[in-house]
């Protein structure tokens, strides 16, 4: 039986998908599993007690934080890498860090960024410019651009990485079964396309967010007596 030949374009598309899966894999050694983004503190404070409350917490964070800070900056960074606008990259990098309201939230960006900076040379990726400090999102977009992933795919991958890490953290912190975790992923991922579209339409002056509950949870976590996560 003869099989149809695979075109060069199809091979390139398959390779891009594999690279995206590699970049978004929980096995990527950047320490993402160590951060709960305030989720652990929110549970310690008894704000979140069940699957429905966790879904509401994550949904609000996706809509009013990730979609208003990380996603619009990701799109701008991806374009800046493409046109070699390193000044704009440094500006976006600094703006992202300025949007973090606590030391712990900043740590998740800088620690994962430092880990990814150490990993990239082992994957034959060399940064064409110095980024200080190297944040995870900045280097994530660099790797995605280098591997010829579109901005849309890069945004989808980043959102999936963020969402999966949060749900994994929730399963460790709450008696939450694997079926419930999959229900959370299935429900929350439905919002992702609209959030990416919103980020595409966002003006520079509109980038930013304020979630006082998230900031308070993060500050509480810094002095929490026992904890599983770094933030």
Is there a contact between 72 and 79 (Cβ–Cβ < 8 Å)? no
What domain range is 206 assigned to? Answer: 35-222
Is residue 75 domain-resident?
yes
Is residue 26 domain-resident?
no
Is residue 187 domain-resident?
yes
Residue for token pair 């979609």: 67
Is residue 214 domain-resident?
yes
Could you read off the pLDDT of 190-231 as tens digits, one per residue? 999 999 999 999 999 999 998 999 999 999 998 888 888 877
In this prediction, residue 151 carries a pLDDT of 95
In this prediction, residue 16 carries a pLDDT of 84
Q: Which two tokens stand for residue 66?
A: 């990730």
Angle between helices 212-222 and 103-119 (to 10 degrees): 80
Is residue 183 domain-resident?
yes
Q: Which two tokens stand for residue 224?
A: 């929490």
- In whole angstroms, how large is the CA radius of gyration of the chain? 18
Is residue 205 domain-resident?
yes
Is residue 110 domain-resident?
yes
Count Cα neighbours of 137 within 13 Å in the Cβ-side half-sphere: 28
Q: How far lies 32's CA from each of 36, 52, 63, 115, 193, in Å?
A: 9, 24, 21, 10, 23
Is residue 51 domain-resident?
yes
pTM comes to 0.93
In this prediction, residue 3 carries a pLDDT of 45
What CATH number corresponds to the domain at position 79?
Answer: 1.10.4190.10
CA-to-CA distance for 224 and 159, rounded, in angstroms?
Answer: 28
With a cut of 70, which residues of the chain have pLDDT below it?
1-12
Is there a contact between 214 and 61 (Cβ–Cβ < 8 Å)? yes
Domain count, the chain: 1
């Amino acid at each position: 039986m003869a099989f149809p030949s695979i075109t060069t374009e199809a091979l390139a598309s398959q390779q891009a998908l594999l690279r995206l899966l590699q970049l978004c894999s929980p096995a990527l050694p950047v320490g993402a599993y160590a951060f709960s983004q305030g989720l652990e503190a929110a549970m310690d404070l008894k704000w979140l007690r069940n699957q429905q409350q966790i879904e509401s917490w994550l949904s609000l964070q996706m809509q009013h934080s990730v979609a208003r800070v990380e996603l619009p900056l990701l799109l701008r960074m991806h374009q800046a890498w493409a046109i070699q606008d390193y000044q704009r990259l440094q500006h976006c990098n600094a703006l992202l860090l300025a949007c973090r309201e606590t030391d712990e939230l900043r740590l998740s960006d800088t620690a994962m960024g430092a880990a990814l900076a150490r990993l990239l040379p082992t994957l034959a990726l060399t940064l064409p410019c110095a980024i200080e400090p190297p944040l995870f999102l900045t280097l994530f977009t660099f790797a995605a651009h280098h591997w010829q992933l579109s901005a849309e795919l890069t945004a989808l991958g980043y959102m999936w990485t963020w969402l999966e890490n949060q749900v994994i953290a929730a399963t460790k912190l709450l008696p939450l079964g694997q079926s419930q975790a999959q229900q959370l992923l299935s429900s929350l991922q439905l919002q992702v396309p609209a959030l990416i579209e919103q980020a595409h339409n966002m003006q520079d002056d509109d980038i930013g967010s304020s979630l006082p509950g998230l900031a308070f949870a993060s500050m509480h976590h810094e002095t929490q007596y026992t904890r599983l996560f770094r933030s």
